[in-house]
Structure 1
Amino acid sequence: MFRNILKIALRNFWKTKSISFINVLGLSLGMALCMIIAIFVKNELSYDRHFPNAERIYRISSDIVFGGNAMNMTFAPAPMAEALVAEIPEVEAAVHFRQQGSFLIKRYEDNIKENDVVFAGKSFLDVFDIPLVQGSREKALDEPNTMLVSQSLADKFFKGENAIGQSLILDNKTSYSITGVFADIPENSHFQFHALLAAEGLAEAKSGQWLSNNFQTYLLVHPGSDPNAMEEKIRAMSEKHMAPVLKQVLGEDFTLEQFKASGNKVDYGLQPLLDIHLHSDLLGEFKANFSITYIYLFIAIAVFILLIACINFMNLATAKSSNRAKEVGVRKTMGSGRNELIGQFLGETFIMSLFSFLLAILLASLLLPFFNDLAGRSLKLPLTDVMFYLYLLLGALIVGLIAGAYPALFLSGFNPSKVLKGDISKGMKSSSVRSSLVVFQFAISIILIFCTIVLFSQMNFIQNKNLGFSKDQIIMVHDLYAMGSQKQAFKEQVISSALIEKGTLSGYLPVSGTNRSDTPWWVSGRDIQNQENLVSIQNWRVDFDYISTLGMKVIQGRDFSLDFPSDSSGVILNETAVKNFNFDGDPIGQKISSFSGDNDNGFSTENAELRTVIGVVENFHFESLKENIGAVLMFIDPNPTGIASFKFQAEDTKEVLSLLEGKWNELAPGQPFTYSFLDDRFASMYASETRIGKVFAAFTGFAIFIACMGLFALTAFTAEQRRKEIGIRKTLGASVSSLVLLLSKEFTKLVLIAFVIAAPLGWYGMNKWLQDYTYRIDLGWTTLLIVMGLVMAVAWTVMGVQSFRAARINPVDSLKGE
């Protein structure tokens, strides 16, 4: 039976080999793309599942509203980890982390720069049960100046040696003893650490301050614990510890009820570890996460692409019905039942589906490197996994059933007495189902094109929006601390070159990943027990050339100047800060105050810091355009460090790099020279969206290509069915252009219907996506018209080629059989 089905399938394939080849190629390409998306989605869903007890690990998240500033962060107070274990019975262990940027690490002389370094509490291995390659788990991070390193970092310094007990020097000053080497953390983790420094040696980690949020805190709970009940206990615990400190600052009459009634809140919640990668986008993430929305989007694309490929098969199978009508009629006359015929046609489809899946593996292996490059992943086909092939077989069965069910039912339902007389509809007649499928294909394609154009338009808007500062032609030299006391000399020697326009020293820059510091201020003389007078504001340490180097616009007062010694106690505000302070009259010359410092007992208002407003700058974006512009205060840092930024001319990039590296090696010999460009750092804030846009565009292109392959084959087959009609019309004087129009108009109607259906759906979906951005493009009719023009141009090109070929056939050849 199978041999018979195979023989007939191969015979029919060969009879219409060009169209069948298009069909198989389209189906294979669709399957290959689905295969890639399936591997990608599986990888994204697997994040952090490799940690033992991952389902029992949570991270503390904070939702803070204070002084007109709202923050959703991964940060919590330093003492919270210890308090969780001591006061919440459900907590088995807790650990906190503190990031302090990159470190220079060396064994003897030469430093290497390592970004993935973090201070960690001594319970790290209790919460994250990572296997140790060397060393003992007991008391691994209990002592100050000890560290755990990854296998890959250990291999850099101690290849072939036992790293336990060895020392590494960080930032040229502190020696850390290695107590353990852990297996490299898999890529599918929401954090990547190569060195864990004992937080026991960090004074900040021992602070009892509950109003300072700087630590990421994770906890392992006992089996069966209720996270909702735990959140209530954590909320009560944090309020118990914060209330005395707030009362000290805001007065004895302070109550938490008044605090909340004023619109303020400090709320801590629990995030399941397994939800972080796809459901979290908070301030302070260890690295950029993905989004579950994009997972749903990729799954939808995979389904759509596969449906488009299956529709191609169904359309061509039913369009070729007249070619197989007599076969069905003869077989029914000879006694074949409908079930037997359905089995025959489904068998043929399954054979083609199986062959397409085998070809899809080859196509997927060729396309996967390009996908990895676009998506920033390192995925591989699981060719050694038996389950992979079982899934392929199951997929071939499902696709064969989807693609072959309707054609099998349609073809097996012919009346033998009618089809043997030639009474069967041909071409586009009585083809409502086929027309609906074509509409569905192009509706999907139109939605994908529309989404791609909107996504790239938004990214282009972000890149070209007036940000309130100049991000172009600014180079940043990192790790300025490695120069010690030579920082200022480095800046002065560099800006003395004609290649450099201006330069500034500051770790506070208007791109994510640079320094941030947020504290409350108030207009001097106002009663801070009235909580509305407190303004939470970013405090940025800058030098005298900061504003001019970054091209910020001073709209009131003046910039910092060395000609005014009093500027050491002056501040410059942005427009949002001026609005939040609600000054009485002109802000220039007014004085603002802040707490003199913080300690374990809370903030002190004695000898409050006092500064004078000397200028106001135009608002500038310093975080994602998804966020409103927050309040910023800038003041002079007498000992700036972190990053040196220089403004230069675009055509001098190579010379500038050579200049900077030469001066660096001269003043900081043996220290690694690292740099980046401000516009690249700004673009990296939207790296996820940009990658998604490129991947989306690629899959959209493939979807349209597959749809057009089907349209191409369907147009060719329709032209073949109407070959005699075309010959007669040409004999009667019809022009080639009129015949092309005749053959294309039916499909043109279908594309127009598809556009009418798809346009509102695409509009609604992208409008919802754009709502995530505070600053966004307007969705105008122009975008829809562009999409319509593109789709019609592609469809007409595909249809026109085939129609033109059919219309040019000599009518003698078309009618010689009559």
Structure 2
Amino acid sequence: MFCFLVTALYVRDEVTYDRWHKNADNIYMSSLELKKEDGTSFKVRPSDALMHALKEESTAVLDAVSISRNSYASYKVNNEWVRTDKLFFSSPSLFKVFDFGLKFGNEETALTDPSDIILSSAMAETLFPGFNPLGETLTFQNKGSFRIAGVLNPIPKNSHLKFDFLGPINAEISNYDYNKDNWLNGSGFSYFLLKEGHSPNELMADAKQILALHDVTQVADGLEFLKFSDLYLNGQTERYDAKNLFGGQSKYLYIFSLVGGLILFVACFNYINLTTALSFSKVKQMGIRKIMGASRSRLVLSQMVETFALSFCALIVALIGLELALPYAQPLIGKELDINFSQAPQLLLLPIAVLILVVVISGIYPAVSLSSFSISGVLRGVLPQSKVNILRKSLFVLQFMICTGLLITALVIRGQSDYLINLDKGYNEENIMTFSLYQEGRSLDYQTVRNALEAIPKIEKVTSSPLPMFAPPPPMMILVDGKPVPITIYSGAADQNFNELFELEVLEGTDFSNLPKSQLDSLVIINETAKKKLGLNPAVGAKMPNGRRVVGVVKDFHFSSAKNVIEPAMITYSANPRGPVQFKYRANNKEAVKAQVGLALNKLGVKADPNLTELEGFFSPAYQKESQLITIFDFLTLMVVSVAFLGLFALSSFENKLREKEVGIRKVLGASYLHLAQTLNKRFTWLIVLAFIAAVPLTYYGLEQWIAEFPYRLENLTPFFIQAIIMVGVLAITVLGLHSYFSVQKNPVDVLRSE
């Protein structure tokens, strides 16, 4: 029950994301998917002009709001600059579309003045503890001072939109660029509040009509309107939180719900098995009660009451355990869960539903079965065990099918996750740090930064390149030898040290470091995928955009999460690139180098933390959510295995107890320990083998379907199957072997004394 309740609370928290807005079911976000030449696609922000047109012209739209974000802002606190990535900007309609609300301030005017800003309640308490900050000023680097015009009400935890600062979208610091003539892509995310009774299909029809009037019908093919309350579960929230690239992932919720239910069912199966196994001792009592005039319905009711009492006690223990364990489980599951019935009375329905479910599943069959035996047979000690034995064996096999299948699944999921995390990136990432040239609202000069870093003795090499993550490009037409080729190609600029630092494998031609600077402006390096997509054979010497020619082809390297396929990439030379800076330092000098780099940048006017990031593990945040989910799945699998083996322990103990006299007689007749162990455990052994035979093909089929979704995946799943079967087999042999040992060790005289 404890595991099922934890799973249910987790799933409930996920599915209620963003549903606290009263109009959540009528809010839709526009999304634009552009197709690439290879049939794949990527998403961009739809046109802001389209949002304004729909707001004014569509009869389905009640209101609309645009939200954008500035990820590189710094604000001043106690004469120090503090960086924030939660500075958002919105049009004035925010409070009409969403239910954020203001604790202090006027919702009608708070987002109208470009010099105003709104704080979250947590940020207001941090910066201005204990008093109303309205009218106070807050300074942002290179953007001046802003007047605090409002404080938001506390934002619920299950909201994917979380602000520390919220300003008008027309503020200078917002970097929002509205172009009424741009119908392709926009600067902000557009949300539409539909009128009651209107559907997104009407909104789509109006959008297509507007786009047709402006001769951009190609945009309509990839345009869609996503339900706001489904964004998190469908993994559409990565734009707001780089540490949660995969959103809630609804498929994992289905898995967790299934596993949580399986834990409950396996526990119920154990109860049914043990109750029916103990039927011989109970059935005589029921026979006597029948003779005394008790009806069958009364006997069923008494058995159900007993099941209810046991289940109710288990539920109380589970709730107490839940209350004690949740604070410690939060780091594991990555979210705050609670069972505060006073604040959320509807939560009471969960334990009540669990109690009813357990009582019904666990109690009905034993109650009906035990009350159905004939009185004469009961009093003579003759019980119809065949049906009971068939049920008990079936439930036992089903238990171990579930146990084996989940264990295999857990091992494969963990193995695939480790495979992706440890996949060779295609370039050297050891002892390399990176940071942005954009610091405190301004771009630093690369050559100045490079000279400052190269003066640090423990730094071996400095470069600037788009690695580890290229910015997503729009689709383009590239002229290759005078012919236009449609392609989406990731591009970025780097200096001469690029390949020496990253140690990319050159497959054709050469890299920038082997050529004089005078030639570099006319050259470009591409990856294998770009060569294949462009059909260049040979590639060296082929003409690319802006008159540049391919000087080298490097082996494919990853510049995004390994969950994504490697895309075409092109690296051009620049003596003064604007991308991130990377530097390689001598091993075991990390902290000293970080301190020296901080001092060097401080001399260049960078007062705030430059946010130095290790290249090794750079994409780890992309797997953070999945790692937490996998850990939860591992825990649930462990619980299923534990419950299954507790059932085996209890059932084998009972069976051995029933066969004590048989063992005593066989022992007197000279049977060996091995023979006795085989006699006692043969039935369980065959049932477990049958469970293996049934579980393996079903699990293999399911995992093959799941793992096929990954572009880079484990090719051989057999070791995981063997490992799981060995683990279950060893545990089963251990449990059965111990019981056999203790049964065989008993003195036959003590066992047969009454005969």
TM-score by length of 1: 0.85
**Native 8 Å contact 1:61 1:72 kept in 2:** no
CA contact (8 A) 1:469 1:620 kept: yes
How far is 1:743 from its partner?
1.6
Quote how far apart the aligned CAs of 1:638 are. Answer: 5.1
> Do 2:303 and 2:367's aligned partners in 1 also have CA atoms closer than 8 Å?
yes
Please tell me whether residue 505 in structure 1 is matched to residue 442 in structure 2: no
Q: 2:70·2:85 contact (CA, 8 Å) conserved in 1? A: no
User: 1:726 deviation in Å?
Assistant: 0.8
- Preserved contact between residue 481 and residue 642 of structure 1 (Cα < 8 Å): no
Q: Distance in 2 between matches of 1:629 and 1:349?
A: 57
Given that residues 521 and 537 in structure 1 are in contact (C-alpha distance below 8 angstroms), is that contact kept between their aligned partners in structure 2? Answer: no
Following the alignment from structure 2 to structure 1, what is the Cα–Cα distance between the partners of residues 268 and 561? 41
How has the CA–CA distance of structure 1 residues 68 and 389 changed in structure 2, closer, same or farther, with 3 Å as cutoff? closer
Shift of 1:761: 1.9
Look up the equivalent residue of 1:505 and give its one-letter code. S
Native 8 Å contact 1:119 1:199 kept in 2:
yes
Alignment of 1:374-389 (within 5 A): 374-384=332-342, 385-389=344-348
Match of 1:152 in 2: 122
Which residue, out of 499, 523, 526, partners 1:570? 523
Quote the residue 1:523 is aligned against: 479
Is 1:549 equivalent to 2:549 in the alignment?
no
Aligned-pair CA distance for 1:711 = 0.8
Alignment CA distance shift 1:344-1:266 (3 Å): closer
Q: Secondary structure at the match of 1:534?
A: strand
Equivalent runs, 1:462-477 vs 2, <5 Å: 462-477=420-435
Letter in 2 for 1:418: G
Q: CA deviation at 1:67?
A: 4.8
Q: CA deviation at 1:331?
A: 1.8
Cα distance, 1:569–1:83 mapped onto 2, change above 3 Å = farther
Q: Does 1:587 align with 2:560?
A: no
Does the C-alpha gap of structure 1 residues 521 and 587 become closer, same or farther in structure 2, counting only changes over 3 Å? farther
Does residue 1:452 correspond to 2:410, yes or no? Answer: yes
- CA RMSD of superposed structures (Å): 2.7
Are 1:424 and 2:376 counterparts?
no
Q: Secondary structure at the match of 1:681?
A: coil
Written as runs of structure 1 = structure 2, the 5 A alignment for 1:300-339 is 300-339=258-297
* AA matched with 1:398: L
- Stretch moving more, 558-567 or 54-63: 558-567
1:137 offset after TM fit, Å? Answer: 1.8
Paired with 2:39 and 2:308, the residues of 1 have a C-alpha distance of 61
CA offset at residue 552 of structure 1? 2.3
The answer as to whether partners of 1:311 and 1:403 remain within 8 angstroms in 2 is yes
Name the structure 1 match of 2:214.
Answer: 241
Identify the residue that residue 80 of structure 2 maps to in structure 1.
110
The aligned counterpart of 1:537 is 489
Contact 1:569–1:611 under 8 Å retained in 2: yes
May I ask how many residue pairs the two structures share in their alignment? 746
- Distance in 1, Cα, partners of 2:47 & 2:166: 20
1:688 is the counterpart of 2:661: no
Contact 1:74 1:216 in 2 (8 A): no
Q: How does 1:520-669 map to 2 (within 5 A)?
A: 520-523=476-479, 526=482, 528=484, 533-561=485-513, 563-583=516-536, 586-593=538-545, 609-637=546-574, 639-641=576-578, 643-648=580-585, 650-668=587-605
Tell me, yes or no, if structure 1 residue 135 matches structure 2 residue 87: no
- Is 1:407 the equivalent of 2:366? yes
1:399 aligned partner, one-letter code:
V
Q: Which runs of 5+ in 1 are unaligned?
A: 1-30, 244-255, 594-608
Match of 2:391 among 433, 438, 446: 433
| Bigger shift: residues 102-111 or 382-391 | 382-391
Change (3 A) 1:51 1:434: same
Deviations 1:742-773 (A, max 9, x none): 22221111111111221122112222221221
- Whole-Å separation in 2 of the counterparts to 1:622 and 1:278: 26
- Residues 630 and 52 of structure 1: CA distance in aligned 2, closer, same or farther (over 3 Å): same
| CA deviations over 1:450-487 (Å, ceiling 9, x no partner) | 11011011112112322222334333335742385465
Task: Report SS of the residue matched to 1:549.
Answer: helix
For 1:631, the aligned partner's letter is P
Match of residue 89, structure 1, among 27, 38, 59: 59
CA distance in 1, matches of 2:97, 2:345: 34
CA shift digits 1:218-245 (9 cap, x unpaired): 11122111212321321332344354xx
Any idea what SS the aligned residue of 2:382 has?
A: coil
Which digits, 9 at most, give the CA deviation of each residue in 1:138-168, with x for residues without a partner?
2433343433221222233333444334332
Residues 206 and 158 of structure 1: CA distance in aligned 2, closer, same or farther (over 3 Å) = same
Q: Secondary structure at the match of 1:775?
A: coil
2: CA distance, partners of 1:185 / 1:637: 45
Are the structure 2 counterparts of residues 414 and 266 from structure 1 closer, same or farther at C-alpha, using a change threshold of 3 Å? closer
Q: CA shift at 1:298, angstroms? A: 1.2
**Aligned counterparts of 2:28 and 2:148: Cα–Cα separation in 1:** 28
Contact kept? 2:45, 2:185, Cα under 8 Å = no
Amino acid at match of 1:194: D
**Change beyond 3 A, Cα 1:550–1:88:** farther
Deviations 1:53-109, CA, capped at 9 Å, x for gaps: 111110111121145574332511232221221332222222223334232111562
Equivalence for 1:801: 738
**One-letter amino acid of the structure 1 residue matched with residue 733 of structure 2:** W
- Listed one character per residue, the Cα deviations across residues 685-728 of structure 1 (whole Å, up to 9, x for unaligned) are 22222222111111100111011111101111111111111111
- TM-superposed deviation, 1:649: 5.0
Distance 2:459 2:70 in 1: 30
SS at match of 1:42: helix
User: Counterparts of 2:208 and 2:235 in 1: how far apart (Å)?
Assistant: 20
- The alignment status of 1:276 with 2:231, answered yes or no, reads yes
Give the Cα–Cα distance (whole angstroms) in 2 for the partners of residues 445 and 192 of structure 1. 40
1:64–1:265 contact (8 Å) kept in structure 2? no
After TM superposition, give the deviation of residue 357 of structure 1 in Å.
0.5
Q: Distance in 2 between matches of 1:762 and 1:110?
A: 57
| Cα displacement (A) at 1:420 | 2.0
For residue 206 of structure 1, what is the aligned residue in structure 2? 178
> Is contact 2:231–2:237 with CA below 8 Å preserved after alignment?
no
Using the TM superposition, give the Cα deviation of residue 370 of structure 1 relative to its aligned residue in structure 2, in angstroms: 4.5
| TM-score, with length taken from structure 2 | 0.92
CA distance in 1, matches of 2:714, 2:615: 23
State the partner residue of 2:658: 721
- Cα distance in 2, alignment partners of residues 680 and 111 from structure 1: 27
**2-structure distance, mates of 1:491, 1:192:** 37
User: C-alpha distance in 2, partners of 1:638/1:441?
Assistant: 66
CA distance in 2, matches of 1:77, 1:237: 12
Partner of 2:136: 166
Amino acid of the structure 1 residue aligned with 2:100: I
Uncovered stretches (5+) of structure 2, i.e. residues with no partner: none
Name the amino acid aligned to 1:268: L
What is the distance in 1 between the residues matched to 2:134 and 2:262? 54
Structure 1 contact 199–205 (Cα < 8 Å) conserved: no
Once the 2 structures are TM-superposed, how far is the Cα of residue 789 of structure 1 from its aligned partner?
Answer: 1.2
CA contact (8 A) 1:516 1:540 kept: no
Same amino acid, percent of matched pairs: 29
Higher mean alpha-carbon deviation, 305-314 vs 98-107, is at: 98-107
Q: Does 1:361 align with 2:319?
A: yes
- Structure-2 residue corresponding to 1:814: 751
Question: In 2, Cα distance between the equivalents of 1:242 and 1:676?
Answer: 45
Aligned to 1:4: none
3-state SS of paired residue (1:76): coil
Query: Alpha-carbon deviation of 1:48?
Result: 0.7
Deviation larger for 288-297 or 449-458: 288-297
